[in-house]
Structure 1
Amino acid sequence: MKASRQMFEESGVQWWLGLVVLYLWVSGVVYTKDTPWPCPQPCQCNSRTLETNCSDRQFEAVPDGFEPDCRLLNLTHNHLKTLVSQQFKGLTRLLELDVSDNLLVMMEVEAFLGLRSLRALRLARNRLRVIPAGAFKGLLQLQLLDIRDNQILVLLDSTFQDLAALRRIDTGRSDLVFVSPHAFAGLTNLQELNVDRCNLTAIPTEGLRPLSGLATLSFHRLGLTRLTNYSFQWLGNLKTLVITHWSVLETLEGNSLSGLNLTFLTVSNCNLSNVPYASLRHLVYLVHLDLSYNPIRYVRGNSLRDLLRIQEFHLVGGQLLRIDPRAFHGLAQFKVLNVSGNLLNTLEEGAFSLVGSLGVLRLDDNPLACDCRLLWVLRRGVPLDFDRKPPVCATSAQFNGWSFLDFAPVDLPGPFTCRRSRILNRRAQHVQIAEGYTVLLHCSAEGDPMPSISWLTPQRVLLTAIGRRRVLANGSLEVRYAQARDSGVYVCLASNAGGNDSIRVSLVVRGFSHSSRNALLLNRTQSLPFEFKTLAVAVTIGVISFFSSVTICYIFMFLWSKGKGQIKHTATIEYMPRSSASTTNGGKGHMESSRFTMKLI
């Protein structure tokens, strides 16, 4: 009996304990689901997410009555014009405050005092013209500040001095024209600064000086035509620099990036016509380089060899016509090349030092000629990754539109062949000409791809398209005003990926005798155009100019003399002539003075 009773009592206790646990569990569920808590009307509050949403409620002032435990407060799309001092002082646990898309024109000093836990503050798309020093006082934990799309003209000294924990600032799309040298003072932990679409006329070099720990800097949509020397000289810890959509940026001066040790550099959607080799040369830690959407036509050989650690090169949507052999020589860690959307017809294996290190190649959207120059892409031991956009043949009538993935190994080399250069006229050429005349030495060739023509002088110096002896676009060599020293055997060299061909052309320039030289000079003189009307007009203008100048001088002298009062018209001059007789042995000669009178006109 006693044991039964004890068991009954124990089961009763367990039942009551289970009932209490069940009650507490149900109560917890009900509370966390949607328990009402203090909420300004007509805002919406959520006790589970600790969020208060007062967006688009036509508020003209910040309402009262927020729950002190609120973590997120949304005041966007209202008509707030002013934030007064200590506006949110009771929200000590607030983590994020969004006052974007209002009509804010003023923030008082200590407007956010009391928000000691705030991590993110958004003030974008308002009408702020100035941010007073001390406005952010008390925001000891703030890490993100968004002030985009305002009408801020100047960032004053000490604007952000109270934000020691700040890590990111988004500014821009404003009327900003000047950044004070100490505007960013106190931002010892700032890691990222984004500036977008403002009226700065130069990079605020001194204004950026306090940001010695900055890691990422982005400038978007500025109206600068050139990036001047030492623009970022104080940012030694900067790792990422992004310059985009500067539509008129044409030049990066040689020392514009001096002082930087970048890992990532982007200069895209600008107006660069050349790769800025001089500016890049010292960036030995650069890993990623993006010059996309610039009208760059060539990548020169041996010009990037100082970028020893570079792994990625992007030049998308440009006007690339050629990537020279050895363009990426010396880059042992090179892995990604993206030159899609250009005007390339080939990419030769010789552009790379170690083609085996290349992992990703983007050549799509280029007018590629599928010949022997691109065979290396398909025969490479480890298949290249085309990032799901393989190259397509564009210049062959038979294989136009074929993807590189359409060619099986058994089909190779197939269309990927070249026809060696062959000079068409191989007859020995002996050209004679009199000194002083111009002569053309012809040379044409055929092959696939079309050969390039070059000429060597008798001294085996390569000629260019500039100078008295120059190579024309059609491959001919022009020698203007030939001289006797131009005589000799010239070599025409035709070359393409399939092979080379050459011929020799002998040139003899006959020197002139003295009489022949005079006759040639007379002939040239007589052939000069002569127009009597032009000469008459020139003489008339000269005569009129001369007499006008003389007349003005006389008038000036006349007026000047009138201003001096009465003028003497005569002057008496006394002089003593040298004696014609002199005594010897130190004797004194006798001299008489004479006078004459002059009449002044």
Structure 2
Amino acid sequence: MLAAAGHTGFLQGAESCSAPGAPSLLSVVVLLFCVQLSLVRTSACPSLCLCTSDILSCTALGLDQVPAMLPVFAVTLDLNHNRIVLLEDGSFEGLSRLEMLRLAHNQLTSIQPGAFRNSSASLLRHLDLSSNQLRVLEQHYFQDLSGLEELLLFNNRIMHVESSALIGLSNLHKAYLSHNRLTDFPFFSIQNHSYPHLSMLDLSSNRLPKLPLEDITNLPQLVQKGLYLHNNSLECDCSMYALFRFWEQKGFGSIHFFRQEHVCLVYGMKRGTMRFFLYNRYFDKCNQTLMSDAVKKQDSSVSVRVGAQLLLHCITSLSGSSITFFWLAPNFEYVAPPGNNGSLKMFANGSLEILAAREQDSGIYLCMAQDEQRNETREVNVTVLLHHDEAHEQFNTGFTTLLGCVVSLVLVLMYLYLTPCRCPACPKPRPPLTTNPSQGKEAWGAWSAQSSILSATPPTTTEGPGRKVNSSNLHL
């Protein structure tokens, strides 16, 4: 059927190309050109694939390799749910318009150098390699894809990512590597100048045992905000806990939306893993001295909700083992390690923790660090957000907006229906006749003055800039 349709198309194309009355040699040349064009058109869409507009779909066809003949007009190529094992050099050659490539649910184990060469390369924005059997991300895999924005690699068997595997992906926005077997990741390779748009790096559900704290805290703020590390095999230690507590204080979505999925391994416990955001008493012994300076960044003004915990850091340039710290609370209470009667807890490194924020905890907290020669102080303004105040403010805002709308509607209705209509012009009374010329002038002047006050338009004899009063208007 497809062959018959192609043959019919070929005949129609040949008939449309031939011109009646043309020279025989020219007709033969045109006919041969149309034959070649017809063959290209009929072979452009691979057998059993679906070609519509600029989309080519070859899903679930049992393909073990990328089809050799692909239409050059394809913008989206869908090869999901096949048996492709290898992407060879030039697999997508000639696809100069390709922007989205889907290869999920195949059996990919390797990508040869130059697999994306001579394709759209810089135009390719979305690459889906999820649910395959990749084990190592090598440095040449994505070297030609400078325009790539989304890279999906979740649900593979990736155990290692080479430090230069993502090099050249300067336009990368999101990278998904969850549900793999990663035991490390080259965080140090991600810098501001190399990945300025990277806002999502999903490394959740892997096998990371320890976090390189210094490398992670040196990541750009945009990357830290979108770094997901839940459901890993992390060991419970103070530095790991301090990092996640810092991200919680910053309100990062990786903590807010996956709070219960953050677990760590506790050796010597029967259950093995612990959800440390739900059961954090294990970390009471931590003084957080393992935190790096980058983690201990402290804003001069912070806020916290009622009942929540808040950790304040005493930032100082002093160094050495003889430094002592103390805090002065807003109620002028002197706080030193280990803290006061239960509402404030202080660590040996100078950090102060508000265990359950109360309304009276708002105010200026003063930290002092001193050694044998000098001392330094730092102020932190803490604001405790009250739930009922926020609701009251939202209610006031909504009520004010509604009231403004009602008043505006009333004013419009008043303008439409209560505005007095203009009355027809009343006949002007004539001045009384008199035989005395002087009395006539006085009467005329009085009547004229009265009419000018009641009239909506000024009289034509009004003197203005550049105009002169006509003396003839002053006489009857």
Q: Give the TM-score range, shorter chain.
A: 0.3 to 0.5
- Structure with the bigger RCO (C-alpha within 8 Å, sep 6+) is 2
- What is the TM-score normalised by the length of structure 2? 0.47
If you compute each CA radius of gyration, which structure gives the higher value, 1 or 2?
1
Q: As a proportion of its length, which structure holds more strand?
A: 1
Q: As a proportion of its length, which structure holds more helix?
A: 2
